[in-house]
Amino acid sequence: SFLLQVTKPPQLHHGYKWDLVFSVFSLSLDQELIMTNNRVKGGFSGLLAESSGVPRRRYKTTGTYIGLIAYAIQDSPDKMLTFKQIMKKLEPFVLGDKKGIENNIRVCLSSNRCFVKVPVDPDYPNPKKNFWKVDENGITPKMFRRHFKYLINIFPGLSIQTQQVDECEDNAPEPLIPVCKVTENKSEGKFTGPFSIESLLKSDREVKRLEEHPHYTDAQLGTNKRKNVYEYEAVKCYYPVSAVGWELASAKRPRLSSGPQFGQFLPPHVTYDHHVLFSSPLMYDIRYARW
């Protein structure tokens, strides 16, 4: 594993702003930030804060991948980096199980709606050649507090302050649209994943067999050879939210099990929900769609 020692005075190393990193992770001066995949007691692993050699639990006192990645991206000249550039920038944090940490960062980029892709060459889009940038509209108040509270100085466009976040939460309005009614179309097979019947029912989402969905297109068929393809489509309702607004249903990026996912393009069967999109001045993010 690799230890980033935050010691006094803050060391400038390869141009990295250790003092900023220090504040990002809110560590006291004798603590260390470790980015390692090494297993510790109880199978626990992750980003650890250590004090006097005693590992602490992740949350509260430690950084997160989201925060770290966001820092790397926001600290770059154009506020966007390729995956390789992100890894290069985070190199000082990452020694040891580099593959594992790379994997984690990929997962993090891919699954969080606060990270979006921008084609390196817009004229010749290549799904594997993207810059990653931080989408501030994808940062929920909760995420802000958890990951970005100490990064406010590198988010000049983020029109929110900690106090505002708290106020937002205190006065959170009701969603503009009601939570979807739950309908169920049973089918054979038992699914246990996040899109299983049970999970979907629990989370008040509408479930339909893909084939039965009115907006389903044949283009979706046969595009995925994976084993555990869930042939369900979740109809999720999102209501206007951003870091300045109200609460998102989830910070996780909603997605189908298969189909084109490139940049901000939406699958062909996805339609804008104009009521949702335009009923609030805050709504300008195309991901606030409904399908």
- Burial label for 138, CB within 10 Å (0-12, 13-18, 19+), is buried
What one-character DSSP code corresponds to residue 68? Answer: H
Least separation in angstroms between CB 69 and DNA: 9
Query: Which of 258, 273, 285, 288 contacts DNA by CB under 7 A?
Result: 258
Give the range of 55-63, 72-80, 151-159, 175-183 binding DNA by CB under 7 A. Answer: 55-63
Ranges of beta strands (E only) in 129-235 are: 130-134, 206-209, 232-235
CB of 177 to DNA, least distance (A): 17
The reply on whether position 117 binds DNA by CB under 7 A is yes
Q: Give the shortest CB-12-to-DNA separation in angstroms.
A: 25
Q: Is residue 81 within 8 Å of 23, Cβ to Cβ?
A: no
Interface with DNA, residue 144, by CB under 7 A? no
Residue ranges of alpha helices (H) inside 81-186 are: 83-89, 98-111, 141-143, 162-170
Tell me phi and psi for residue 105, to 5 degrees.
-70, -40
Confirm or reject binding of residue 202 to DNA (CB under 7 A).
yes
Q: How far apart are CA 184 and CA 80, in angstroms?
A: 41
Residues linked to residue 246 through DSSP beta bridges, in sequence order: none
Interaction of residue 287 with DNA, rule CB under 7 A: no
Binding segment for DNA (CB under 7 A), chosen from 70-78, 153-161, 188-196, 236-244, is 188-196
Contact between 39 and DNA per CB under 7 A: yes
Interaction of residue 175 with DNA, rule CB under 7 A: no
Q: Among residues 5, 193, 212, 286, which is the contact residue for DNA, using CB under 7 A? A: 193
The three-state secondary structure class of 124 is coil
Scanning 17-25, 121-129, 152-160, 235-243 for contacts with DNA by CB under 7 A, the matching segment is 121-129
Among 16, 21, 80, 112, binds DNA (CB under 7 A): 112
58 binds DNA (CB under 7 A): yes
Q: Per CB under 7 A, which region of 107-115, 151-159, 181-189, 269-277 contacts DNA?
A: 107-115
Q: Strands across the sheet with 80-82, in order?
A: 80-82, 130-134, 115-119
Task: Report the relative pairing of strands 130-134 and 232-235 from DSSP bridges.
Answer: unpaired
Q: With binding defined as CB under 7 A, does residue 252 bind DNA? A: yes
Under the binding rule (CB under 7 A), the answer on residue 255 touching DNA is yes
Buried b (16+ CB within 10 A) or exposed e, 77-110: eeebbebeebbebbeebbeebeeebbebbeebbe
| Rounded CA separation 246/237 (Å) | 14
**Shortest CB 277 distance to DNA, Å:** 22
Shortest CB 8 distance to DNA, Å: 25
Sole binder of DNA in the list 147, 205, 208, 236 (CB under 7 A): 147
Name beta bridge partners: 13: 16
- By CB under 7 A, name the binding residues for DNA: 36-37, 39, 42-47, 57-60, 63-66, 82-84, 87, 97, 100-101, 103-104, 106-112, 117, 126-130, 132, 142-143, 146-147, 191-195, 202-203, 223-230, 250-253, 255-259, 261-262
